[in-house]
Amino acid sequence: MLHYTFPYVETFHCLAGACPDSCCKGWEVVIDAPTLKTYQQCSKPIGDYIRKVLTKNEEQEWIFQNQKINLMEKNIFWLENDQLKEIASSFREKVEEGLKHENAEIQCIPTFISPKTSDINGKALVLDLGGTNYRVATVDLGQGSPTIHPNNGWKKDMSIMKSPGYTREELFKELADMIVGIKRDEEMPIGYCFSYPAESVLSGDAKLLRWTKGVDIKEMVGQLVGKPLLDYLNEHCKIKFTGIKVLNDTIASLFAGLTDNSYDAYIGLIVGTGTNMATFIPADKIKKLDPSYNIQGLVPVNLESGNFHPPFLTTVDDTVDAISGSLGKQRFEKAVSGMYLGDILKATFPLDEFENKFDAQKLTAIMNYPDIHKDVYVDVAHWIYNRSAQLVAASLLGLIQLLRSYNKDIQKICLVAEGSLFWSENRKDKNYNILVLEKLQELLNESALADIEIHINNMNNANLIGTGIAALS
C-alpha cells in the first residue's frame, strides 16, 4: 500500500486564535478515561486549576472549557475595594507577626543603622552590587543636596560571579579593581548596598544568609559581608577607608527620602523585577529584638514583603506558583512584579503559544501596541497590570494603617519608589504609578485616613544616595 503525504503536513501547527479561518470553531477536546483519571489525581495547585476548567458536554463527555470566551466575559483579576481593604488588613497582621517572631511570612528584618535626618555632611564611597551589575560612586552630602560622581556611578558587568567555583578572593579583586583606581585625597567611609539576603548586625555590617540570582560563593555564606572587604581594600589602597555599612537596596531607597526631613513618615518601595518595602518602626514595637541590644527610637526595617500571601488570588496565580520552581513562596511578588506578569498572561491562555521569556516589558508592549495583538490578549494584559497596581496600593494601605496606629500625628508620608514596573508607561491608559496613587487615595478615604498625604518621590540614584547617608551616619 502506498501512502502520500502533502509537504505542508510536516510543518503544520495550529495558530489558535490567530487563525483567519473558523473551520474548527466549536470543536471540543474530549478527554479519554485514562487521561481524566490522571487529571483527577493531579496534586495541588496545578491539579485544582485543571479540574476547574473541566466540564461535561451534552453527550456527557469530559471536555475542557473554553477559557478565552469566559475571560472575555469577565475580568477574573478584578478586585473590589472591600477585597483590597481585606488584603490590607491581612498585610498589616502579617507585618505585626514578623515584628514579633522570626521566620514569619513577612520577615521584617531590622537594620542596625541609625541614619541621620539632619546635618549629614561629608563624602562616602558607595558600592552597589546587584545580580548582574556593580556600581561605584562617590557621594558628597556636604553641599545641602547630594552630588554623585560620576552622575550614575562607574558600572561593571559582574555576571562572572555566577561562574562555577568562583571564590571570595576573585570577587574582592573584581570589586577592588574599580575602587583602587579612584583618585582620593582623604579618608572616607564606605556604604555597601548589597542586594542579597543578609542579616544586619549591631556594627552596621551584615551577615550573608544565602546567595540568590545564580551566585553561589559558598565560603561567604554565614560570614560578614562588609568587614572582610574593608580589610582587603585597606591592604590595597594607600589612603584608607574608615569603616563600612552594609544595607539592603530597599533600605537604601528608604534612607534616600531623608534628604527632605519635612515628612512625618517614610516608606521605601521597589516594584521592578521583584518587589519589596521598607519603613521605620518604633523599637518597642519590634518584640523580637534582643533586649540586651538596648535599642530605642525608630529602627529601619526591611519587610521582605514579596513573600506575603494575599487572599483573593486566582487559580491562574496558583498555576504560575506551581511552575515557578519555588512553590508557595513569594506569592505577592508572583502576582505583582515584572518578573511574573508575563507568566500570568501565559497561564491564562494555557493552550496558546508564547515566547519562553515573557516578562512585564512584553506585557506592556501588548497594551501599548494593541493593533498588532489579539484583542483578548490586550484586555487581559490591562487586567493583570491594573491588578498589580491595586495589590501594591492595598499593601501600602496596610502599612500606613500600622504606622498610623503607632503615631496618630502622621499625616505627611514620603514614598521613595523605584523599579522599572512602578515607573512604566501605559500609552492607552494611566501609567502604573498613577494607578497605585489613585487607588491608594481611594482606599485611604474609605478607611477614615483621608487626612494623610502621600508624596511619591522619583529620585534619581536613590540607592546611591541612601547608601551614602548610611555610610556617613
Q: What would the pLDDT profile of 18-40 be if each residue is shown by its tens digit?
A: 555 556 655 667 888 888 777 77
Q: How far is residue 287's CA from residue 280's CA, in Å, rounded to a whole number?
A: 14
At residue 352, the pLDDT reads: 82
The residue type at 265: A
Answer with the residue of higher pLDDT: 246 or 353: 246
pLDDT tens figures, 121-164 = 889 999 999 877 899 999 998 766 788 888 878 899 998 998 99
User: Does residue 49 surpass a pLDDT of 70?
Assistant: no
DSSP string, 246-292: EE-HHHHHHHHGGGSTT-SEEEEEEESSSEEEEEEEEGGG-TTS-GG
Average pLDDT, the chain: 88
Q: How far is residue 155's CA from residue 133's CA, in Å, rounded to a whole number?
A: 7
- For residue 12, name the pLDDT band (cuts at 50, 70, 90): low
End-to-end CA distance of the chain: 87
Q: How far is residue 186's CA from residue 257's CA, in Å, rounded to a whole number?
A: 27
At residue 56, the pLDDT reads: 77
Mean pLDDT of 382-395: 97
% pLDDT > 90, the chain: 59
Mean pLDDT of 165-193: 91
User: Does residue 66 surpass a pLDDT of 60?
Assistant: no
At residue 29, the pLDDT reads: 73
Lowest-confidence pick of 42-51, 268-277, 343-352, 419-428: 42-51
Q: Cβ(107)–Cβ(286) under 8 Å?
A: no
At residue 241, the pLDDT reads: 94
- For residue 69, name the pLDDT band (cuts at 50, 70, 90): very low
Q: 261-281: string of b/e by CB count within 10 Å (b at 16+)?
A: eebebbbbbbbbbbbbbbbbb
Query: Which domains, and CATH codes, for the chain?
Result: 24-65 (no CATH), 81-104+305-457 (3.40.367.20), 119-247 (3.30.420.40)
- For residue 331, name the pLDDT band (cuts at 50, 70, 90): very high
